[in-house]
Amino acid sequence: MNFLNSYIYYIGAFGLIFIGLYIVLVKRNLIKVIIGLSILDTGINLFLISIGYISKGTAPIFEKVEAKLARMVDPVPQALVLTAIVIGVAVLALALSLAIRLYHHYDTLNLRKIKDQRW
């Protein structure tokens, strides 16, 4: 139980990452693949946050005298996640707009049926 308590965030994060990867690799519908990418992104963001997370910690601001260094949450991963979320949004927006154009051309989103380009 102790193990689960200390690693629960990592388990959740990698769970999401593997679910996302599975969807991207296996699903045929482009929209589902994009959803998979989104879950993958969420998993990574959770993973980054949990690297610096301390349970019941505080923000790293030295305004009070009694603020304890050991209770402060590392702010760097949160800055990373902020950037990663923005990048993820850009990729997803582009992917969805490409999906719309792809549907106009092929009348389907099934990736197995879209294979004009091949080796």
Partner 1 sequence: MVNPVLLIAVPLGLSFAIPLLGLVSKRIEKYVPIAALIFNLVVSALLIPEVIKQPINVFIGGFPPPFCINLVAGPVGVLFSALIALVGLLVSIYALDYIREGAKELYHVLYLLLLTGATGVVLTGDIFNLFVFFEILCISSYALVAYLGDKAGIESAVKYLIQGAVGSSLMLIGVGLLYGLFGTLNMADIASNIDSVSSISIFVPMVLLITGLGVEAAIFPLNAWLPDAHSSAPSSISAILSGIAIKVGIYAVARVIFTIFGASSILQFLVFLGLLTLLVGEVSAFSQNNIKRLLAYSSIGQIGLIVFALGMGISYGVVGGLFQLISHALSKALLFLAVGYMIYRTGSMDISSLEGMGKRMPITSLAFTIGAFSLVGMPPFIGFPSKFLIIRAALFKEEIMFTVLVAFVLLGTVIEGTYFFRVVQVLYFKGDHTNLQREEAPVPALIPIFILMVLIIVVGVYPKPVTNILNSASSELLNRIEYIRSVLG
Residues found near partner 1 in the complex (CB under 8 A): 17, 20-21, 24, 30, 33, 37, 40-41, 44, 47-48, 51, 74, 76-77, 80, 83-84, 87, 90-91, 94-95, 98-99, 101-102, 105-106, 114, 116-117, 119
Minimum gap (Å) between residue 73 Cβ and partner 1: 14
Q: Of 66, 64, 24, which is closest to residue 43 (Cα–Cα)?
A: 24
Minimum gap (Å) between residue 76 Cβ and partner 1: 7
Q: For residues 20 and 40, give the distance between their C-alpha atoms in angstroms, rounded to a whole number.
A: 4
* Angle, vertex CA 28, rays to CA 114 and CA 105, nearest 5: 30
